[in-house]
Amino acid sequence: MISRLDRRAFLQSASLAFIASLARRSWADGGAPSAAEDAFVRFGSAPQQLATPLSFMERPITPTPVFFVRSHFGPPALDAARKVAITGMVKTPLTLSVADLKGLPEVTITAVLQCAGNSRSFIEPRVPGVQWSHGAMGQATFTGVRLKDLLEKAGVDTKAGFVRVSGGDLAPKPTVPAFIRSIPLSRAMDPTTLVATRMNGEPLTLAHGAPLRLIVPGWAGDHWIKWLTTVNVQKDEADGFYMHTAYKFPTEVVAPGQPVPPEKMKSLTTFPVKSIIGRPADGGRAPIGAQEVVGVAFSGDAAIAKVEVSLDDGKTWKPAALEGEGGVGRWQVFRYRFEQKTAGRVTALARATDRKNNAQPEKAVWNPSGYHWNAWHRVSWEVA
């Protein structure tokens, strides 16, 4: 069940008390939000699943108060002094708080954070999991230190191959598996992999992982560990439900609805090329005359090369203008303007292509968990 939550409903909800402090804060890009904007889409009764409204998918930066939230078990108590341990196959294990990171080079990266299950509700046939529309993504600036600098300080064993990362949130009962992910050492040492302390220029909020979280630009959100407590350097990939069973994608195309044997599944890494139209809203209205199709486009594999828009159901495509700086795992706003001289229904499609020539497909690849949906986004509105 999906319900829209207005600010009042938010503030009345005790379990969302942490959001209250956010709502009182000024908006990252200035100006008070309208009533319609100041709403999350909430899934069922779980406050840990909050979606960013589609209308924000036309901005370079997603304001923190509407940045989607996805937490398997909910946040642990806020503890500004929580430390991260760099342990396992290292010469000198380290235990570091935010204050202990001060001496290291500070890095700020603008990156898309997208849940692997974003847009899952559009997979046909449908699959279980949080039935996200397109709101399980956002772009923010993240500030922190390179994980590489911490690993080098600790001195990584030459036989190490992975880091097992986990946070301070606990499964609700002992029989529920802990949320643990493994990341190849090569990706952990990538200069864009950060231990972040700030988001959009402010200290991380509890919902987004305060005081420390991992940033893995280009990779699906499940690697971006919140409330980070442990970076355990290991020889092999970690085991457990969240590596073994969850976040896997078939190694070859499978027939929709077909079960896939475990040996034909591999762990997710980067998210594929995608564009989403933020405006006009599907089902909306606009006066005859100038029309504007605006959205965001990104790829976990390369910077965006182009975004095209079609007004004839994919028969012909026109290039949209790209705004802002491009990069791997970073979104750019695209804009396409045209004149609509007659009344009637208009349908726009958008498709992005990245610099490795990966093109957004007409239909997404079906997979058992509905990850990485990235089909052409289609929006219709009434011109009158």
Ligand X SMILES: Nc1nc2c(c(=O)[nH]1)N[C@H]1C(S)=C(S)[C@@H](COP(=O)(O)O)O[C@H]1N2
Q: Which residue is nearest to Mo ion (CB)?
A: 115
Restricting to residues 218-237, which ones interact with Mo ion according to CB under 5 A? 221-222
If the CB atoms of residues 276 and 307 are measured against ligand X, the closer one turns out to be: 276
Among 142, 162, 227, 381, binds ligand X (CB under 6 A): 227
Strand duo 194-199 + 213-215: pairing: antiparallel
143 binds, among ligand X, Mo ion, none (CB under 5 to 8 A by kind): none
List phi, psi (to 5°) of 124: -125, 125
Examine residue 113 and tell whether it contacts ligand X (CB under 6 A). Answer: yes
CB 264 within 8 A of CB 250: yes
Among 43, 51, 61, 70, binds ligand X (CB under 6 A): 70
In this chain, which stretch among 185-193, 223-231, 271-279, 366-374 interacts with ligand X, using CB under 6 A? 223-231
Restricting to residues 333-362, which ones interact with Mo ion according to CB under 5 A? none
CB atoms inside a 10 Å sphere around CB 233: 23
Among 62, 71, 192, 234, binds ligand X (CB under 6 A): 71
In this chain, which stretch among 20-28, 69-77, 125-133, 360-368 interacts with ligand X, using CB under 6 A? 69-77
Restricting to residues 70-99, which ones interact with Mo ion according to CB under 5 A? 70
Q: 101 in helix, strand or coil?
A: helix
Residue 211: is the preceding peptide bond cis (ω within 30°)? yes
Examine residue 169 and tell whether it contacts ligand X (CB under 6 A). Answer: yes
Per-residue contact flags (x/-) with Mo ion for residues 105 to 134, judged by CB under 5 A: ----------x-------------------
Closest CA to 331 of 89, 109, 152: 109
In this chain, which stretch among 187-195, 216-224, 250-258, 263-271 interacts with Mo ion, using CB under 5 A? 216-224
Residues contacting 258, CB < 8 A, separation 6+: none
Q: What is the DSSP letter of 258?
A: -
Q: What is the DSSP letter of 1?
A: -
Strand duo 344-354 + 304-310: pairing: antiparallel
Half-sphere exposure of 265 (CA within 13 A, CB side): 18
Among 47, 63, 217, 221, binds ligand X (CB under 6 A): 221
Closest CA to 114 of 71, 75, 70: 70
Among 224, 242, 298, 366, binds ligand X (CB under 6 A): 224
Examine residue 142 and tell whether it contacts ligand X (CB under 6 A). Answer: no
**CA angle (361, 364, 368) in 5-degree steps:** 155
Examine residue 326 and tell whether it contacts ligand X (CB under 6 A). Answer: no
Q: 11 in helix, strand or coil?
A: helix
Half-sphere exposure of 80 (CA within 13 A, CB side): 4
Least distance from C-beta 169 to ligand X, angstroms? Answer: 5
Least distance from C-beta 94 to ligand X, angstroms? Answer: 20
Q: Which residues bind ligand X (CB under 6 A)?
A: 67-72, 113, 115, 167, 169, 179, 208, 221-222, 224-227
